[in-house]
Amino acid sequence: MNQFTKVYSAVYDRLVNNPDVMNRITSVYDYESDAAVYPYAVLGDILIEPNETKTSMDQQIELTLNIRHEAQGKKELIAIAESIIASLSEDLSVEGVFLLSQNLKSFEVLQEEESKIYYGKIIYKFKIESEE
């Protein structure tokens, strides 16, 4: 398993094993599912930027988490986002990966044009170095 996959899996595990998060959403998905029941979260876009030097090999990873909710207001969506952000506030422990940093990059509340339903977008930034 590569370093990114380990971090991705650790984020997923942290979310699905957090009672506060799971009391607010029905599931955490790896993809947008037509069968998904609202509200839910999706591990979405990924950006990996390798940084290799003579002495180290590290990567900066940006992982987007999307929150989908059928309500037309923002209050519950923000509460879900706050629980996800709180669950990721403590650094991940990932075997075989040295986590240099883990930070919230941004949180946005957006509105879909057609449906007028709001959705959330959280971006986390991880900087890792291989321990192997």
Please, what are the domains in the chain? Answer: 3-130 (3.30.2000.30)
| pTM score of the predicted model | 0.90
CB-based contacts of 130, cutoff 8 Å, min separation 6: 3, 57, 58, 96, 97, 98
User: At how many degrees (to 10) do helices 75-87 and 3-16 cross?
Assistant: 120
Tens digit of pLDDT for each residue in 72-83? 789 999 999 999
pLDDT reported for residue 131: 56
In angstroms, rounded to a whole number, what is the distance separating the alpha carbons of residues 43 and 113? Answer: 22
Peptide bond connecting 19 to the previous residue in cis, omega within 30 degrees of 0: no
DSSP, residue by residue, the chain:
--HHHHHHHHHHHHHHT-HHHHHH-S-EESS--TTPPSSEEEEEEEEEEEEE-SS-EEEEEEEEEEEE---SSSHHHHHHHHHHHHHTSSPP--TTEEEEEEEEEEEEEEE-TTT--EEEEEEEEEEEEE--
pLDDT for 90 beyond 80 = yes
Tens digit of pLDDT for each residue in 26-57? 999 999 888 999 999 999 999 999 887 777 77
